[in-house]
């Protein structure tokens, strides 16, 4: 169990380091390493305790640092959570950009975007659900990062639709699809666990909806109850 936990932290550490190092002035700096470690060790604390039951002391204990060191980098616990969320959003956009470059058709882009979105959220576990719920509140410090991420995703996907089909899709159409993805993810991770079959169902239906809207090509096999499950 401890080995699996360490592997999970290592995976998150790699994501955090990649994003923090890519920021201006971040690469190779002691500051970025210290910030990264605080962020990495705070994630399981927030996931386990939630926002309101987490204190700065819990984060200090998890990271093994002094209060003085903590306040060199962060104002409070919400500042830590905001930084974690911004890292996740930036990494998600980076993944979208990379998959777009590898995809040859709009259908591939739709499928790959949906797979990346769900697989990334599932891999991050309960903390992603907590941050998504927080970011949907207009007065939250996380809300601007949610908006920024959606704006970037809309721009990327709208650009690909125009490049591959010549159509200028109304941006709100793509944003509506992104909102649907978000709601599906919240539904899937609502109780902290998920069934693989339900994950695949969400992917299949979301792909069917996106293809029907963007490609004007509704595939019944994606939108209807599979024959094996019919009464």
* Domains delineated in the chain: 2-74 (no CATH), 81-226 (1.10.357.10)
C-alpha–C-alpha distance, residues 221 and 88, integer Å: 33
Alpha helices in 103-139 (DSSP H): 106-124, 126-135
Which pLDDT score, from 0 to 100, does residue 25 have?
A: 53
- Contact between 207 and 222 (Cβ < 8 Å): yes
106, HSE (Cβ side, Cα atoms, 13 Å): 20
Which pLDDT score, from 0 to 100, does residue 17 have?
A: 67
Using the structure block, give the residue that is written with the tokens 């962020």: 39
- Contact between 38 and 65 (Cβ < 8 Å): yes
DSSP secondary structure letter of residue 56: H
Contacts with 4 (C-beta within 8 Å, 6 or more apart), sequence order: none
Q: What is the pTM (predicted TM-score) of this model?
A: 0.85
Contacts with 145 (C-beta within 8 Å, 6 or more apart), sequence order: 82, 85, 86, 89, 135
Q: Which two tokens stand for residue 112?
A: 């790959």
Per-residue pLDDT band for 4 (boundaries 50, 70, 90) equals very low
Q: Which two tokens stand for residue 231?
A: 């009464």
114, HSE (Cβ side, Cα atoms, 13 Å): 24
Percentage of the chain modeled with pLDDT above 90? 62
Q: Which of 60, 61, 62 is nearest to 74 (CA)?
A: 60
Which pLDDT score, from 0 to 100, does residue 123 have?
A: 82
pLDDT in tens, 24-60: 555 445 556 778 889 989 999 998 999 999 999 999 9
Tell me what the pLDDT averaged over the chain comes to: 87
Contacts with 218 (C-beta within 8 Å, 6 or more apart), sequence order: 208, 211, 212
């Amino acid at each position: 169990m401890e080995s699996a936990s360490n592997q999970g932290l290592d995976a998150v550490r790699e994501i955090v380091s990649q994003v923090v190092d890519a920021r201006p002035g971040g690469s190779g700096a002691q500051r970025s390493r210290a910030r990264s470690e605080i962020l990495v060790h705070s994630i399981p604390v927030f996931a386990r305790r939630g926002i309101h039951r987490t204190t700065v002391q819990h984060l200090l204990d998890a990271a093994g640092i002094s209060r003085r060191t903590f306040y060199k980098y962060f104002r409070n616990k919400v500042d830590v959570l905001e930084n974690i969320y911004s890292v996740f959003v930036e990494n998600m956009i980076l993944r979208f950009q990379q998959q777009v470059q590898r995809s040859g058709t709009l259908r591939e882009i739709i499928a790959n975007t949906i797979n990346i979105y769900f697989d990334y959220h599932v891999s991050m576990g309960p903390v992603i659900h907590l941050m998504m719920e927080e970011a949907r509140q207009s007065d939250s410090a996380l809300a601007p990062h949610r908006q920024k991420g959606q704006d970037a995703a809309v721009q990327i996907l709208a650009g690909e639709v125009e490049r591959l089909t010549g159509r200028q899709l109304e941006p709100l159409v793509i944003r509506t699809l992104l909102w649907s993805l978000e709601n599906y993810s919240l539904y899937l991770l609502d109780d902290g666990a998920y069934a693989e079959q339900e994950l695949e169902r969400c992917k299949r239906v979301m792909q069917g909806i996106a293809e029907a809207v963007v490609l004007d090509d509704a595939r019944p096999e994606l939108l209807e109850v599979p024959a094996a499950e019919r009464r």
